Chain A
Amino acid sequence: MFGLGAARAREETHPHERADALADLVLKDHEGLDVRVGDLWQDRPAVLVFLRHYG
């Protein structure tokens, strides 16, 4: 069962007031291009939807 990588004990989420820990991350987009996450909200608010999985 734990082959799923499921947590053995219930974890808590850790909400933040600011997105500083995300801003300087550089991730790839669906075309393989680098995206600095903080650039997403530089000029207007961003809604970031974190998917549980693709599909």
Chain B
Amino acid sequence: MNRDRKKFEDAGVRLVLIGQGTPRLAADFRRRFKIALPVITDDSRISYKNAGMKKATVGELFGPTVVAKGIVRGVRSGLVQGKTQGHPAQLGGVLVVKPDGTIPYQHLAKDASDTPPNEEVLAAAREAASG
């Protein structure tokens, strides 16, 4: 997502990362991965809960399909997962929120490998920005 940040900026939306942990962990994460986006951090994970996200079972973290998809994604992106910080079973997701507070698009992960394609999120962002 960080690599496509210019496309999101051009679409007229604000792209923000939210992670779990302390501000120091967030700052380390930005530095290590050369992330130019703002990172908001939520040690309590209340925002994850309020957004409707879930914790994974062991199978949703380490099942064969999940691991295989993670490997493929790592090869494609050139990124390798480092040491896990925060709650290991907390799953993430993506929300597009309009100024009126409505959520026209959301993808709440069903397992650890479940992330939406950037193009899908970008299309939703463009639509939200257009009206």
Contacts and interface: CB of A to CB of B under 8 A. Distances in A.
B96 to A, nearest CB: 5
Contacts of A32: 23
Interface string A23-48: 10101111110010110111111111
A45 B129 contact: yes
B52 A16 contact: yes
A52 B57 contact: no
A47 B14 contact: yes
Given A13-B53, A16-B52, A29-B41, A48 B89 contact: no
A51 B94 CA distance: 9
A48 to B, nearest CB: 5
Interface residues of A, number: 48
A54 B21 contact: yes
Interface of A: 1-2, 4-23, 25, 27-32, 35, 37-38, 40-55
Contacts of B1: 49
11 contacts: A5-B55, A7-B57, A13-B52, A19-B51, A23-B101, A27-B47, A30-B40, A37-B47, A41-B14, A47-B13, A49-B92
A48 B52 CA distance: 13
Contacts of B32: 55
A6 B55 contact: yes
